């Protein structure tokens, strides 16, 4: 096992863990953590986090997209702004660290500066976004897209399962939905967006490291593949006369996995599959499956999509089945800024820890914020790589390390 230097537990790390436990009580479900965007549980979380921001020396306000913002001024009133934070909404039956960790650690970093009366050459704004998960409405990243100036006003008409529109939910929450489109920040006045987040994967645990520096948020291409063959009796149709959509799908699924062996930094997943008619004694007449392809390098991802599409076409033609491919999602990668990465690395080195770079396979608010300003992320080790689950677990020593790194980063970052 690789060894990492022991990281001391600091008061801010202890306080962060305690507050994360408190924040987890803001839930709409008894016995489970569910905190969806613009719900009473979200309002409870906003009130709790607002108090912690103000205790840390920040002035607070809730913007039109229900993003809670705490501002800690810089040395000069006209200083540029560095944005820190993450989201405080959750999936259903969630863990307590995804998103919330980044908000609480950012508050603790500002609190450390405030206790010393320390001002930096830039202002800090801690943002607690409310719609990163996209669970309640069929839209996502509402808060971060609004700050980035890329929010689509048509999204206000999106409705939840109860028929409540995003516009109505914002209004009920005390926000002005018509003002969401005006929230876009001035790029020249925004130094960057930096987020602390659990890794949601096993790399840091395998390396026995508390933190890692993100190089990019992977781009993603998602597809639904439909194959149409001919159903028949499993016992009466000879193998050479079959048009088996299920067998064709199986070969394509294997091709999806195999492409990652030669394509470079790439992951590919078949996450759902269905054979019809779905009987034990029936040859599948049709098959449906999904493909999710991700990479921090858009060239690698796009080449993989083209190669895999060609292989699917070859397999379908050889097996005599019809092929239809429908793209459901295409998101370019968001590269992290090299200057911010270098500053994070210097802060990590100052703690005596090994510097490790890794990509993020999951999406984050940084995808939206990259349209406004440079972005950076620091991952924190998460036990087993579990996320979106009550099994999420982080060590207090690792949270302390992340806090120390963030404070060191803030003190090293120049204003221009």
- Asked if residue 6 is part of any domain, the answer here is no
Q: Is 3 part of a structural domain of the chain?
A: no
Q: What is the mean pLDDT of the chain?
A: 95
| 238 and 102 inside one domain | no
Query: With bands split at pLDDT 50, 70 and 90, how would you rate the model's confidence at 2?
Result: very low
Last residue within a domain, chosen from 280, 307, 331? 331
Domain shared by 165 and 223, yes or no: no
Residues sharing a CB contact under 8 Å with residue 271, sequence separation 6 or more, in sequence order: 290, 292
Tell me: do 191 and 133 sit in the same domain: yes
The pTM of the full predicted model, rounded to 2 decimals, is: 0.89
Q: Which of 334, 344, 345, 395 is nearest to 367 (CA)?
A: 334
Domain finish residue from 331, 364, 387: 331
Asked whether residue 299 falls in the same domain as residue 365, the answer is: no
Q: Is residue 369 very low, low, confident or very high in pLDDT (cuts 50, 70, 90)? A: very high
Question: Please, what is the angle between helix 40-55 and helix 11-23, to 10°?
Answer: 160
The CATH number covering residue 239 comes to: 3.30.70.360
Looking at the structure, do residues 253 and 137 belong to the same domain, yes or no?
Answer: no
- Total domain count for the chain? 2
Other Cβ atoms less than 10 A from the Cβ of 119: the count is 16
CB burial of residue 163 (10 Å; 0-12, 13-18, 19+) = exposed
Count other C-beta atoms under 10 Å from residue 232's C-beta.
17
Same domain membership, residue 167 and residue 46 = yes
d(CA 109, CA 118): 11
Q: Clarify whether residues 175 and 277 are in a common domain.
A: no
**Tokens 């913007």 identify what position?**
63
361 close to 380: Cβ distance less than 8 angstroms: no
Rounded distance, CA 195 to CA 200, Å?
Answer: 14
Q: Which of 304, 331, 358 is a domain's end point?
A: 331
What DSSP letter does each residue of 158-206 carry, written as one string? -B-TTS-BHHHHHHHTT--GGGGGG-PPPGGGEEEEEEEEE-SSSHHHH
Tell me the per-residue pLDDT of 3-29, one tens digit each, with 9 for 90 and over: 444 578 889 999 999 999 999 999 999
- Can you give the residue range of the structural domain that contains 180? 11-218+333-412
Query: Is residue 2 situated within a structural domain?
Result: no
- Residue 108, domain member (yes or no): yes
The candidate with the shortest Cα–Cα distance to 151, out of 173, 174, 182, is: 182
pLDDT tens by residue, 207-254:
999 999 999 999 999 999 999 999 999 999 999 999 999 999 999 999
CA dihedral over 30, 34, 40, 45, signed as positive or negative: positive
Give DSSP secondary structure letters for 31-71: TSB---TTSHHHHHHHHHHHHHHHHTT-EEEE-TTS-EEEE
Measured distance CA(324)–CA(112) in Å, rounded:
56
SS3 content of the chain, % helix, strand, coil (to 5): 40, 25, 40
Q: Is the pLDDT of residue 344 over 70?
A: yes
> Residues 70, 197: one domain?
yes
pLDDT category at 295 given cuts 50, 70, 90 is very high
Residues 242 and 368 in one domain: no
The whole-number pLDDT of residue 415 equals: 79
Neighbouring C-beta atoms of residue 396, cutoff 10 Å: 15
Rounded CA gap, 55 and 203, in Å? 35
Question: Percent of the chain at pLDDT above 90?
Answer: 94
Give residue 264's pLDDT. 81
Per DSSP, the chain holds a count of helices (H) and strands (E) of: 11, 16
**Predicted pLDDT of residue 1:** 37
Q: What's the Rg (C-alpha) of the chain? A: 24
What CA–CA distance (Å, rounded) separates 107 from 101?
10
Give me the pLDDT at residue 6, please. Answer: 56
User: Does residue 238 lie within any of the structural domains?
Assistant: yes
- 184 and 87 in one domain? yes
* pLDDT average, residue stretch 81-109: 97
Take residue 351 and report the two structure tokens written for it. Answer: 């703690």
Q: What local confidence, expressed as pLDDT, does residue 262 receive?
A: 85
Task: Say which CATH number the domain at 340 has.
Answer: 3.40.630.10
Asked if residue 404 is part of any domain, the answer here is: yes
Inform me whether the pLDDT recorded for 68 exceeds 50: yes
Q: Is 5 inside any structural domain?
A: no
pLDDT for the residue numbered 224 = 97
- DSSP annotation of 129 reads E
**Is 300's pLDDT higher than 60?**
yes
Q: Are residues 139 and 254 in the same domain?
A: no
Q: Looking at residue 10, what is its pLDDT? A: 85
List pLDDT tens digits, range 348-361. Answer: 999 999 999 999 98
**172 is a domain residue:** yes
147 and 286, same domain (yes or no): no
Give the pLDDT score at 44. 98
């Amino acid at each position: 096992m690789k060894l990492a230097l022991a990281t001391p537990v600091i008061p801010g790390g202890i306080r962060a863990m305690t507050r994360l436990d408190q924040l987890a009580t803001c839930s709409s479900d008894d016995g489970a953590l569910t905190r969806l965007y613009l719900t009473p549980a979200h309002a409870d979380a906003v009130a709790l986090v607002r108090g912690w921001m103000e205790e840390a020396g920040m002035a607070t306000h809730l913007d039109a997209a229900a993003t809670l913002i705490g501002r800690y001024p810089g040395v000069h009133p006209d200083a540029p702004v560095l944005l820190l934070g993450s989201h405080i909404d959750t999936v259903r039956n969630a863990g307590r660290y995804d998103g919330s960790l980044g908000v609480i650690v950012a508050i603790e970093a500002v609190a450390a500066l405030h206790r010393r009366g320390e001002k930096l050459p830039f202002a800090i704004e801690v943002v607690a976004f409310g719609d990163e998960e996209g669970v309640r409405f069929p839209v996502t990243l509402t808060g971060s897209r609004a700050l980035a100036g890329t929010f689509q006003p048509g999204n206000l008409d999106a409705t939840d399962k109860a028929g409540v529109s995003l516009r109505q939910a914002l209004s009920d929450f005390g926000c002005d939905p018509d003002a969401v489109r005006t929230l876009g920040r001035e790029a020249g006045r925004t130094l960057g967006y930096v987020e602390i987040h659990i890794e949601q994967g096993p790399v840091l645990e395998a390396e026995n490291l508390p933190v890692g520096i993100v190089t990019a948020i992977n781009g993603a291409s998602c597809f639904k593949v439909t194959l149409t063959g001919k159903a028949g009796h499993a016992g009466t149709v000879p193998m050479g006369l079959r048009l088996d959509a299920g067998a064709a799908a199986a070969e394509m699924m294997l091709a999806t996995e195999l492409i990652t062996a030669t394509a470079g930094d790439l992951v590919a997943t078949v996450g759902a599959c269905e054979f019809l008619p779905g009987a034990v004694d029936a040859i599948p007449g049709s098959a449906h499956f999904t493909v999710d392809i991700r990479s921090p390098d858009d060239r690698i991802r796009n080449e993989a999509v083209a190669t895999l599409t060609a292989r699917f076409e070859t397999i379908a033609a050889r097996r005599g089945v019809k092929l239809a491919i429908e793209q459901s999602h295409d998101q370019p990668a968001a590269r992290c800024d090299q200057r911010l990465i270098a500053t994070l690395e210097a802060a990590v080195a100052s703690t005596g820890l090994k510097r490790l770079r890794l990509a993020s396979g999951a999406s984050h608010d940084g995808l939206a914020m990259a349209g406004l300003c440079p972005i950076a992320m620091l991952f924190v080790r998460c036990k087993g790589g579990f996320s979106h689950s009550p099994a999420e677990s982080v060590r207090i020593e690792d949270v302390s390390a992340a806090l120390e790194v963030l404070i060191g980063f803030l003190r090293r970052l120049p204003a221009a």
